[in-house]
Chains A and B, each alone.
Chain A
Amino acid sequence: GENVGLHLPTLSVQEGDNSIINCAYSNSASDYFIWYKQESGKGPQFIIDIRSNMDKRQGQRVTVLLNKTVKHLSLQIAATQPGDSAVYFCAENSPDSNYQLIWGAGTKLIIKP
């Protein structure tokens, strides 16, 4: 049978290039969004968050963009390094969900040397 759900979406990026990981969210009432990085054998690690009253937020080498019109969230990683290899999850939060995170499926980022 078909292995539905057993393969994560994958993004391959050349070392040193910028990476853009995209995420669509479903709930227009969501007011808080967060990106996590999960390396093999570890728990999810907080990267950056953004609230719905903003459309852009920058951290160290990372930028999150929020487009509420089309319910789209993206994570940009500048000058991608081998240590950026991981699975990246977006998550949304809203009063509707009693402030419990609703997670995206995840994207596996592979860095090519």
Chain B
Amino acid sequence: DTEVTQTPKHLVMGMTNKKSLKCEQHMGHRAMYWYKQKAKKPPELMFVYSYEKLSINESVPSRFSPECPNSSLLNLHLHALQPEDSALYLCASSQAQDNSPLHFGNGTRLTVT
């Protein structure tokens, strides 16, 4: 079992829907990440939060909106997605935004219809 918990495990949504992905960690980590992973590819960084502030946005389209309500929680709000956004969305955390290992959740498998 992973110490980073993601919900839901699977999500199917239409292009007009609004949904949210949730991530939680209780390791006291101060950096949290959203990654997108397509089949047979490495994870691609989307966003980084450091001490609850958005530190990095890798030019992600505005239909993806991150939120960090507190140091343990990270959300990703989805709106008006496209079928090509279907992927595994991974949350990760690390002690800080530095040379410390990332701990990943098991992801949300998102299908956009």
Instruction: Count B-side interface residues using an 8 Å CB cutoff.
Output: 22
Q: Is A26 in the interface zone, CB < 8 Å from B? A: no
Q: Is A43 in the interface zone, CB < 8 Å from B? A: yes
Contacts A5-B40, A43-B107, A89-B42 given; does A99 touch B101 at CB 8 Å: no
Contacts A98-B56, A100-B56 given; does A44 touch B99 at CB 8 Å: no
Q: Is the CB of B101 within 8 A of A41?
A: no
Contacts A43-B90, A43-B105 given; does A51 touch B99 at CB 8 Å: yes
Which of B43, B105, B106 has the most C-beta atoms of chain A within 10 angstroms of its own C-beta? B43
What sequence of 0s and 1s flags, for each residue 52-92 of chain B, a beta carbon within 8 Å of any chain A beta carbon? 00001000000000000000000000000000000000101
The 8 Å CB contact of A43, one of B40, B45, B56, B106, is: B106
Enumerate chain A residues within 8 angstroms of B2, measured Cβ to Cβ: 42-43, 45
Q: Is the CB of A44 within 8 A of B104?
A: yes
Top 3 nearest A-B pairs (CB, nearest first) are A43-B104, A103-B42, A32-B99
With A43-B90, A91-B42, A106-B40 already in contact, 16 other A-B pairs whose C-beta atoms are closer than 8 Å = A36-B104, A41-B106, A42-B2, A43-B4, A43-B92, A43-B106, A43-B107, A44-B104, A49-B101, A93-B99, A98-B97, A99-B98, A99-B99, A100-B56, A105-B41, A106-B42
